[in-house]
Structure formats: C-alpha cells, structure tokens
Amino acid sequence: MVGEKSYRIGSISEFHEIIGLPRPQHPLISVVDLKDVKRPADQMPATRILEFYTISIKRYNIGFKYGQQRYDVQDGVMYFIGPGQVFTPPIKNKEAKVNSISGWALYIHPDFFWNTHLAKAIKRYEYFSYSVNEALYLSGSEEAIIVSLMQSIQREYFTNTDKFSHDIIISIVETLLNFADRFYYRQFLTQKVENHQILERLEHLLNTYFDSPDLIVSGLPTVQTIAEKLNISPNYLGSLLKALTGRNTQQHIQDKLIEKAKEKISSKQLSLSEISYELGFEYPQSFTRLFKAKTGLTPLAFRQALS
C-alpha cells in the first residue's frame, strides 16, 4: 500500500487517475464498473479521504475480514461514504491484487447537488455516517435493483445529455437512496440475533451506568458515550433502535432515567432534591421538568399518588 497516512482526494477526476481509469465523462459524477479498475490494490492509497460521496457495491473474490466477521464471494457489500470521511478498504489479504473485487461504484461531488432539494435532503440519509463494519449486505434481488439504477445514471450522462439530464439523474439518485433506506431497515429486522444482542448490551450498559457513581459525577450518559461503549456509530445505533423499538438512543437513556427515578421516589428514603442529585442533575428544577414531560406528573405528585 502507498503509506499508512490518510490520502486526501479532492475530485472525481483525480480519483479516476489514481485507480487507473480515463477521465470521467462528467467531472461531478461517475459510475464505475469495478472490473475496469486497472491499478493493483497494493499500489493504491491504503487510507483515503474523498471529498465526494461514494456509493458502492463490492463482491470480493477472496475471503476477507470485515468488521468482526468473515465474508466470501457470495456476499454483496454496500458502502456509503460521505465527503471528508476516512475510509480504509477492508482487504487485509496480501493476495488482493487486480480483479480481486467486482461490483459497481457511484461517485458524486457535492456540487452536483447544488440548487436541488438533495443538497440538504441527502443529510437525512444517516447511513453515510455509519462505520465501515456497519455496511449493508444485499440479497441478489436487492443488488440487481441498485446496479440497475447505477447503470441508468451512467446511460443518462453518457448518451442523453440535455437540459433534462441533471434533473433525471437527481431523481434516480434519490430513488437509489430510498431503496437503500428500505434495505437497511430490512437488515435491522432480519439480523435478529446480532441486533437483539445489541439491545441486551444496551440495557446492561444503562443499568450499570445508572447504578454507578458515574451518574453523579458525569451526569446522564451521552448518545456518543453509549455508542462508543457498544462499538457502534451513534447514527447506526439510533437507526437500529428506531427500527426495532420505535425509540431512538436518547429516548432509551431518558426511559432508563425515569425508571430509576420512579424506583427512588417510591422508596421514600430520599428527598426529591437528593434523588435529583443522585440522578446527575445539578438543579432539581431540571429533573422536575423532565420527569413531568415524560410521566405527566411532577416527582412530588408521583410520590403523593403512591400514598
């Protein structure tokens, strides 16, 4: 590999040159059949920072480790990388040379979205900020849909360039992103064992945290802190929880807080100010506001209702 430091690539044309392809037909968007890539893997930058969006489907002709699991040629892996993200290809096997990867890739510079609704709307697709080991694993039929859409984009900018081309391509890109949303949702629901293990670990983590001195010292745990302890990106964790439970990570944290608050209020061993302090609140009023927002009662009214 070309060094271990990150290599920043500013344009799609520059990236084409690095991977041994002719200049792109359009400077701001390109669809590449990865079988056409001529540059051997060990001659490319190992760690890349691309200043454009990358959506790719890859099939590896050798086994490789991706995250904590091992995959083979039957697994179609889909990556989503946003501008400025650091990306290190998962291939670790030294045998990974030319033609070890097949598939398709779509590269889009942010300027292509200028003055379109996708300039802002693309930020709602949270999978662009997922970690490498949180990729989308496609079925054969799902892969066929995505590849067909990429090829439609390629045909449009190659053969039909006119005043309608840009809007048509934007529409196809949005369709592709919406299909990816659907497929990720399917993945959250179908990987039952792995995902429910994450839920169990989350529950254990929150119980441990709320029973420890950390709550008094550091206050409520942040979404970032919880995600790091679970070795999951914050957005992936939020999307997973939303799909499985209908509630995001912040809501799960607050639910656990209210559960612990009710336990302490019910015991009647501590004053409400003491409970507020033990739950990590600097001011009792903040605790009262949150408790009422979640339960419809103030902590005092909740305690009185138990009498």
**Same domain flag for 153 and 199:** no
Q: For residues 39 and 41, what is the distance between their CA atoms, to the nearest angstrom? A: 6
With respect to residue 1, please indicate whether it lies within any of the assigned structural domains.
Answer: no
**Same domain flag for 88 and 208:** no
pLDDT of residue 5: 66
Model confidence band, residue 69 (pLDDT cutoffs 50, 70, 90): very low
Total of domains in the chain = 2
**Same domain flag for 124 and 231:** no
Percent of the chain with pLDDT strictly greater than 70? 86
CATH number at residue 148: 2.60.120
Pick 116 or 102 by higher pLDDT: 116
pLDDT of residue 80: 94
Nearest of 156, 109, 114 to residue 15 by alpha carbon: 109
**Same domain flag for 146 and 84:** yes
State which of 190, 215, 238 marks the end of a domain. 190
pLDDT of residue 125: 95
Global pTM?
0.81
pLDDT tens figures, 237-296 = 999 999 999 999 999 999 999 999 999 999 888 999 999 999 988 889 999 999 999 999
Q: Are strands 101-108 and 29-33 parallel, antiparallel or unpaired?
A: antiparallel
**Same domain flag for 132 and 207:** no
**Same domain flag for 157 and 216:** no
**Same domain flag for 17 and 47:** yes
Q: Which tokens in the block code for residue 174?
A: 């949005």
State which of 190, 224, 244 marks the end of a domain. 190
Q: For residues 108 and 116, what is the distance between their CA atoms, to the nearest angstrom? A: 14
Q: For residues 302 and 257, what is the distance between their CA atoms, to the nearest angstrom? A: 15
**Same domain flag for 72 and 202:** no
**Same domain flag for 153 and 266:** no
pLDDT tens figures, 190-248 = 887 788 899 999 999 999 999 888 888 888 899 999 999 999 999 999 999 999 999 99
Domain residues for the domain of 225 are 193-306
In whole numbers, what is the pLDDT of the chain averaged over residues? 86
**Same domain flag for 224 and 282:** yes
Residue 64 has pLDDT above 50, yes or no: no
pLDDT of residue 7: 83
